Amino acid sequence: MKKFVVLIPTYNESLSIEDLLEKLRIFRGESIYKFDVVVIDDSSPDKTAEIVEGLLIPWVKVMRRSRKDGLGAAYRAGFSEVLQNKNYTHVATMDADGSHRVEDLSAMIAALEGLNSSKTVVMGVRWMPGGRVTNWSRFRKLLSLSGTRYAKLALGLKLDDLTGGFRIYSSELLNSLNLKTMHATGYCFQIEMALISKEAGAEFIQVPITFVERNFGSSKMTAGIAFEAFRYVTKAGFERVLRMNIRR
Ligand SMILES: Nc1nc2c(ncn2[C@@H]2O[C@H](COP(=O)(O)OP(=O)(O)O)[C@@H](O)[C@H]2O)c(=O)[nH]1
Ligand SMILES: [Mg+2]
């Protein structure tokens, strides 16, 4: 029997997190999978962590971190924490702001049935037939689409949404990765995870999702975060070409 834990990184998500947890509570009640949730909070000044703890939901834990340290660092710390619990067979990741819909999570869990390997990644994908983005500015759409296309080409990854963070990893895959050698702080983390998962021989399945831009709070995306991803992909792409030439 599969046992899931859902990781939700938060920074100033006090206006969204309760709604998401309520939707997860309803889904959990109907599902055969009694998953746990870990909210990874970077000491949000808007007291996101205190709000979640105040809800006193037995299957929801808060992992408090001392300062805002980026999405990548939060996820790496979250993975290390939950992998200590050997009961978890799968780790799902999703945003706190309502952009990742609980309805799509159930389709992603169902997609696991079609996988054969023990090292697996289910990718929630906006840029494939059936996938959608609502309420996003043209600029954000362009940034996400061109970022994915560039990374796909440079890194030779046959995946259609490399910057999104709605995924399910098998614990066996995560345990085989050396998370300590990863450096990405921002959204580049998602690209790096896809790349090292592929290098570890993971089997991927893509599930179309509808990404709904947040109604409350604000995005933590910055030009610096986008540039970090561009620099990472360019460097990793050159290294890949060099390796291919050496092998010839
Ligand atoms: N713990 C933690 N979470 C973060 C950090 N930056 C972003 N997040 C969370 O990551 C998720 C995605 O961030 P968001 O700002 O919505 O990105 P966007 O959807 O690309 O605009 C949200 O749940 C954020 O609260 C961070 O530095 N630390
Ligand atoms: Mg968002």
Please tell me the residue having the least CA distance from ligand 1 atom 14. Answer: 219
The protein residue with its alpha carbon nearest to ligand 1, atom 12, reads 95
Atom of ligand 1 nearest to the CA of 68: 27
Tell me 78's DSSP state: H
Instruction: Answer yes or no: are the C-beta atoms of 96 and 20 closer than 8 Å.
Output: yes
Nearest to 224 by CA among 185, 195, 190: 185
**Residue 21 Cβ contacting ligand 1 at under 6 Å:** no
Q: Is the dihedral of CA 244, 188, 148, 142 positive or negative?
A: negative
Q: Is the dihedral of CA 163, 69, 60, 46 positive or negative?
A: negative
Answer yes or no: is the C-beta of 133 below 6 A from any ligand 1 atom.
no
Ligand 1 binding pocket includes 9 (Cβ within 6 Å): yes
pLDDT value at 248 more than 90: no
* Angle ∠(200,74,62) on CA atoms, nearest 5: 120
Quick one: how far is CA 188 from the chain centroid? Answer: 11
What's the whole-number average pLDDT of the chain? 95
The first and second tokens of residue 36, run together, are 């746990």
Ligand 1, atom 6, lies closest to the CA of 71
Candidate from 69-83, 121-135, 216-230 with smallest mean pLDDT: 216-230
Q: Is residue 11 lining ligand 1, measured as CB closer than 6 Å?
A: yes
Cβ atoms within 10 A of the Cβ of 217, count?
Answer: 19
40 exposed, middle or buried (CB, 10 Å; 0-12, 13-18, 19+)? Answer: buried
Residue 47 near ligand 1, beta carbon < 6 Å: no
At 13-36, the pLDDT tens digits run 999 999 999 999 999 999 999 999
pLDDT average, residue stretch 224-241: 92
Q: Is the pLDDT of residue 191 over 80?
A: yes
- Ligand number nearest CA of 140 is 1
Whole-model pTM: value is: 0.95
The pLDDT score that the predictor gives to residue 131 is 97
Q: What is the three-class DSSP state of 71?
A: helix
Q: What is the pLDDT of residue 187?
A: 83
Residue 160 CA to residue 124 CA, distance in Å, equals: 9
Dump pLDDT digits (tens) for 79-117: 999 999 999 999 999 999 999 999 999 999 999 998 889
Domains in the chain: ranges and CATH = 4-247 (3.90.550.10)
Could you tell me the distance, in angstroms and rounded to a whole number, from the CA of residue 242 to the centre of ligand 1?
34
Output the CA 57–ligand 1 centroid distance in Å: 22
Residue 243 is predicted with a pLDDT of 86
User: Which atom of ligand 1 is closest in space to residue 74's alpha carbon?
Assistant: 1
